[in-house]
Every structure is written in C-alpha cells, then in structure tokens.
Amino acid sequence: MAEINIRKVGKTYGKTTIMDGVSLDIHNGEFVVILGPSGCGKSTLLRMIAGLEEITSGDIAIGGKVVNALEPRERGCAMVFQNYALYPHMSVAENIGYALKVSGMPKAERLAKIEVTAKSVGLTEFLDRKPGQLSGGQRQRVAMARAIIREPKVFLFDEPLSNLDAKLRVQMRHEIRRIHNTVGATSVFVTHDQHEGMTLADRLVIMNKGTIEQIGTPEEIYDRPASIYVAGFIGSPAMNFLPGRIGPDQNRVVLDDGQSLDLSGAARAGAGQLVQIGLRPEKLTFAPAERAMLKARFDFAEELGSGRVYHLKLEDIPLSLTSPEKRPMIEGEVVGLTFAPDAVHIFDGTSGLRLATTRQTAQVSAMA
Ligand SMILES: Nc1ncnc2c1ncn2[C@@H]1O[C@H](COP(=O)(O)OP(=O)(O)OP(=O)(O)O)[C@@H](O)[C@H]1O
Ligand SMILES: [Mg+2]
C-alpha cells in the first residue's frame, strides 16, 4: 500500500502544453478512477505516475517519497493495459512468472507463487496454454495475475476492459475491485466509461483538457457537479440544460423560451444574471397542467424495454425525460412536467460553474 501525491504536475511536448498544474492526493488503499473524454490526458497522467513518461514540472510522490527521478521498476507500480501486452510465445504460467524470473527468484518458489496467483484469478486450468488460445477475458486475467504476482504497492490500470464485451466487462470490473480489496494495494484506474467509473471508484477524478475539473465520491459528483462540463459528462442520458436569466426578484428564473421557473429564492445569483438550469432526465416526471412547473412539446420517444426516453422540446431546446411509464403521445403534443425542488442545478451561464444555492447552503449548515 502507498499513498500517491501529485503536486502541480505539468507536461509539455515541445511547445504544446497537454497538462497544467494537476494536483491530486490518492490515499493508501484507495481505488481512484480517472474519468474523461479521449485526449484529456488520462493515460499521460497514469504513465507519469508509473515513470513511463517524464514530468515537465511539479512532483510525484509514492509512499511519501518523491519519485520524479526514479526508474519505472523502482516505483513499486504494476500497470495493466487495454491490449494486455502478453508475450505470445510464452505459456500463461511463464507470462505470469516472467517478472519473478527476471528478478532471479528460484524456480520452486516461483512456481509456487504462480500457482497461488493463478488460482486467485481463476486461471489454474489454463497455465499451460499460450495467450493465443485464450479468450479476451482470460487474457485480461493473465495481465492481472502478472501485475498481482509482483505484489505492487500501486496498481495502475489504463482502460483494461475496453476490449471486452459488455457482459465480461461488468464481470471483470467486479473481479478487479475484489482483487484490489484482497491485495490491499492502492489503485488508479483510467477509463472514459462513466458507468465503469461510477461503479468502481471510491473517488472519481473528472479530467478536462489536461486539468482536473472535480474530485469526489461518485455520489458527490452526481449530486453536486461542480460545472456544466462535469454535469454533462456524468449521468445517462445526459443532464438537460435550459438557458435563462435570473428574474428581477431572484425567486424565479426566466428561461429563454419565455417560461418562468420558481426557484423559491434558492439561487445565490444577482437579478439578470445568465444561468443554465440543469435537470436530470430521471428527475423529471409528467404532471397534469395544474401541477406542472414547466411545459414542453413531445418530439419522439426511444424504447428501452424497461421504460422510455421521452424527447421533448422547449421551443428549440431539447429536453429528455426517462420513465418506466409507457405513455401514448402524439408529436407536438404539449405536456406538463414537474420535479422536486432539490433536482434543480444552477450553473453560471458564462463560466459554467455551479452557483451556490441558499437551499443547499441551508442543508449544509444544518449538517455542520
Ligand atoms: N508523444 C506525444 N507527443 C505529442 N503529444 C502527445 C504525445 N502523447 C500524447 N500526446 C497528446 O497528449 C494529449 C493527452 O493524451 P492521452 O493519451 O493522455 O489522452 P487520454 O485521455 O488517455 O485519451 P484516450 O481516452 O484517447 O486514451 C492528447 O492530446 C495527445 O495527442
Ligand atoms: Mg488513454
């Protein structure tokens, strides 16, 4: 086990800065997932922790010791990649034990360790096979075993499940979490799949273009996204955003389509301020006209089996609502919508940052 401290780390390639002042403290034994779209710098950050990529500025410490100048093998990290990187000509047993062989461990001891490790990931019966004779999931297990056998302080995973089919991904996800819990190492897991991130992480790190947008538990990030970027990235279907302005008395927001929404004095924002109102599709429900807080026109519906995604419009602004209910609806029909007051997220229309709301402040002070 080891904590990892990333302090103001930057990375430039030539004149291009791809990472800027990234700071992150990962606790001993924690499972942290780095989540973000393609090209935001997830792999680069992981490779800098592993020592496979030099850092341009800042410090990285593992177990309290700055490792900037240490070789990858001196850092106590084991990395698991998407493409497994197994040796095709070696058997499963040889692949798993390779690092121990290189380090000079006597054969008998090595074989015993290979056996125990293979058992822990369910590979006992495949030890004599070559990687080419394994399924994708089994190859992924070999890659895991090869990492586990080195008893690393830190596991670094770079999208290790991307090549697997949906069912196997879920299964391997649980397996990885189980191994993390049993081995007791610190894990950093990179993915662009929000479901994978939400289910695996003790804490999520949301990255955007080489910077960290938010760090928090999956629940914190879902319930209180710090920005429109985070709010739009986490949640499926994505959060709806309705542009508007805070009204003259600050109790209401006037949406761009002319409707006005009751905020009951919740917004800590000045009259006239541009805002984006965030509403998650799963927090919206249909309501009869007299109870409706918003009105929208029905556009089309997508069948999910378990329910539907209803696509609506407020003039030109799209709005989606998910519901287990299967309502017969006609294109263009006006429907009433309602939602709980705490389902409303308010973001600054210019900076995209979350605006503090008095209601949430009241909740926080009640808890303090
Ligand atoms: N050797 C390099 N030279 C120049 N730019 C690079 C180099 N390696 C990576 N980059 C750039 O750094 C940025 C971050 O890349 P990185 O591989 O860390 O992204 P990522 O978040 O892992 O993306 P993905 O989800 O597609 O794997 C990208 O814009 C990429 O083009
Ligand atoms: Mg990557």
**pLDDT tens digits, residue range 285-324?**
999 999 999 999 999 999 999 999 999 999 999 999 999 9
Q: Are residues 206 and 271 in the same domain?
A: no
The reply to whether 219 falls in a domain is yes
The reply to whether 10 falls in a domain is yes
CA of 209 to the centre of ligand 1 (A): 10
Q: Are residues 222 and 149 in the same domain?
A: yes
Reported as type and span, the H/E element at residue 347 is: strand 345-348
Final residue belonging to a domain, choices 183, 205, 228? 228
pLDDT digit string (tens) for 17-27? 999 999 999 99
For 105-210, strand residue ranges (E) read 154-158, 186-191, 203-208
Nearest Cα residue to atom 25 of ligand 1: 38
Cα 341 to chain centroid distance, Å, stands at: 27
Q: Which amino acid is at 64?
A: G
CATH assignment at residue 113: 3.40.50.300
Reading across the β-sheet that carries 57-62, which strands appear in turn? 16-26, 4-13, 57-62, 65-66
Q: Are residues 252 and 205 in the same domain?
A: no
Q: What is the mean pLDDT of residues 21-49?
A: 96
Q: Are residues 171 and 289 in the same domain?
A: no
Nearest Cα residue to atom 1 of ligand 1: 13
CB 2 within 8 A of CB 154: yes
Q: Are residues 188 and 212 in the same domain?
A: yes
Q: Per the structure block, which two tokens stand in for 116? A: 């125990």
Site of tokens 């804490």: 203
Q: Are residues 168 and 302 in the same domain?
A: no
CB 294 within 8 A of CB 336: yes
Cα 18 to chain centroid distance, Å, stands at: 20
Q: Are residues 282 and 167 in the same domain?
A: no
Q: Are residues 268 and 148 in the same domain?
A: no
The reply to whether ligand 1 has any atom less than 6 angstroms from the CB of 82 is no
Q: Are residues 144 and 48 in the same domain?
A: yes
The reply to whether 294 falls in a domain is yes
Reported as type and span, the H/E element at residue 198 is: helix 194-200
The reply to whether ligand 1 has any atom less than 6 angstroms from the CB of 120 is no
The reply to whether 146 falls in a domain is yes
Final residue belonging to a domain, choices 228, 258, 277? 228
The reply to whether 234 falls in a domain is no
CA 296/CA 268 separation, integer angstroms:
27
Burial 296-311 (b: 16+ CB within 10 A, else e): bebbebeeeeeebbbb
Final residue belonging to a domain, choices 228, 248, 264? 228
Q: Are residues 222 and 77 in the same domain?
A: yes
Q: Are residues 180 and 49 in the same domain?
A: yes
Residue 268 pLDDT exceeds 80 = no
State which residues form the domain around 192: 4-228
pLDDT digit string (tens) for 205-225? 999 999 999 999 999 999 999
The reply to whether 216 falls in a domain is yes
CA 26/CA 5 separation, integer angstroms:
6
pTM over 0.75: yes
Nearest Cα residue to atom 16 of ligand 1: 41
Q: Which of 117, 105, 104, 122 is nearest to 78 (CA)?
A: 117
CB 250 within 8 A of CB 256: no
CA 54/CA 43 separation, integer angstroms:
13
3-class secondary structure, 290: helix
Q: Write down the number of H helices and E strands in the chain.
A: 9, 20
CATH assignment at residue 359: 2.40.50.140
Cα 148 to chain centroid distance, Å, stands at: 24
Q: Per the structure block, which two tokens stand in for 256? A: 């761009």
Average model confidence (pLDDT) for the chain? 91
Q: What is the mean pLDDT of residues 346-368?
A: 67
The reply to whether 233 falls in a domain is no
CA 183/CA 147 separation, integer angstroms:
11
CA 349/CA 257 separation, integer angstroms:
15
Site of tokens 């780095």: 34
Nearest Cα residue to atom 24 of ligand 1: 38
CA 214/CA 220 separation, integer angstroms:
10
Q: Are residues 215 and 244 in the same domain?
A: no
3-class secondary structure, 282: helix
pLDDT exceeding 70 applies to what percent of the chain?
95
CA of 45 to the centre of ligand 2 (A): 9
CA of 281 to the centre of ligand 1 (A): 33
- The better pLDDT of the pair 125, 249 is held by 125
Per-residue pLDDT at 267: 58
Q: Per the structure block, which two tokens stand in for 339? A: 């939602």
For 222-306, strand residue ranges (E) read 240-246, 252-255, 260-262, 274-279, 285-287, 294-303
The reply to whether 166 falls in a domain is yes
Number of domains making up the chain: 2
